[in-house]
Structure 1
Amino acid sequence: MATLIPENFETVAPTEAEALLARESSRLLAAHKIGTRSSVRIQLLDDGEEAESLAVPASALRLFLHLLTEMSQGNAVTLIPTHAELTTQQAADLLNVSRPYVVKLLDEGKIPSRTVGKYRRVRFDDLMAYKRKDDEARANVLDQLTAEGQELGIGY
């Protein structure tokens, strides 16, 4: 069953102090080689309480490291499950285009979608697959333009 991302899904925009803390934390965490282990044991320390040890999937710790790295650069971060369904407005926001343009892409079948009542839903992974293809096509066109500019001696 697909998960619908609520309109107010949480995006964390780090403060300057949080970005500095994330930078230091990511540096320390990156120094520990996670390797190909399936799980990692970590310890939680709380003020005045006894340390608690727990095992977490190594993949979750790698994801946490990516999250810290992005926060350390001051980037806002949102965690979205790949199977989550987005509204057309959320899809447009992620692609940085207008909602009518996303609807056009859905009508043309360039992005798969399903209808729930009178509303359309787009799976996050389908949206990201479209974005990857579109970014690749744009990069190819840019490479061609650059090559033509070189051939013509335009001086890029």
Structure 2
Amino acid sequence: MSKYFNFDPTHFLVEPEETEQITQLNQLLNREIPTRLVTEQGENVYIPESVLMVLRYSVAALASGQVIQLNVTHQDLTIEEAANLLNVSNSYLIKLLEQGQILSTNVGSDRRIKREDLLIYKEKKYREREQILNNLVAMTEAEGLYRKDEELNLDDSRD
């Protein structure tokens, strides 16, 4: 019987006998950016950058002893799936939907959110936060409350 007979395709954990291989792979991925795999038959398979990013992140987590949870999302998300992606509560997401900040459709008595619409909202909020932080830094610089590291005198010598 295969050790993967009761395999759960959404959760991944390193088997003890794989620890050394995972550690080596993690070190390789941190040093180099492999662009292709070579099969045992000598066939070259090129790896897209998006797959490399997932691989690098996953291997680093596994190497540090964490469990990887894989969540394949569909184009239309439930309230719970969308709330999880935004890291907010279901009730907060429903408020956003009712305010029209995120588009949604009704399927029977359930709401569905297009993944693309959710990602557009998430990107918009990220840009807004980034602008607010930039404005805050500019204000503190103008008031002389903020200086860049190179402007600081970090000399530890005492006179």
TM-score range, shorter chain: 0.5 to 0.7
Which residue matches 1:26? 29
Q: Unpaired runs of 5+ in structure 1?
A: 1-7, 35-40, 46-50
Distance 1:121 1:13 in 2: 32
Per the TM alignment, residue 127 of structure 1 is displaced from its structure 2 partner at its CA by 0.9
Tell me whether 1:97 sits opposite 2:84 in the alignment.
no
CA deviations on 1:14-58 (whole Å, 9 max, x unpaired) are 6893752542563687244x6xxxxxx852x4xxxxx484x76x5
> SS of the residue aligned with 1:73?
helix
Distance 2:88 2:130 in 1: 18
> SS of the residue aligned with 1:155?
coil
Per the TM alignment, residue 109 of structure 1 is displaced from its structure 2 partner at its CA by 1.7
Query: Map of 1:104-143 to 2, 5 A cutoff?
Result: 104-143=95-134
| Percent of residue pairs identical | 27
Judged with a 3 Å threshold, the aligned counterparts in structure 2 of structure 1 residues 19 and 117 are, in CA distance, closer, same or farther, namely farther
Structure 1 counterpart of 2:139, from 130, 148, 156? 148
> SS of the residue aligned with 2:111?
strand
The root-mean-square deviation of aligned C-alpha atoms, in Å, is 3.4
Q: Unpaired runs of 5+ in structure 2?
A: 1-7, 63-67, 148-159
- TM-score normalised to structure 1 length: 0.65
Q: Which has the larger radius of gyration?
A: 2
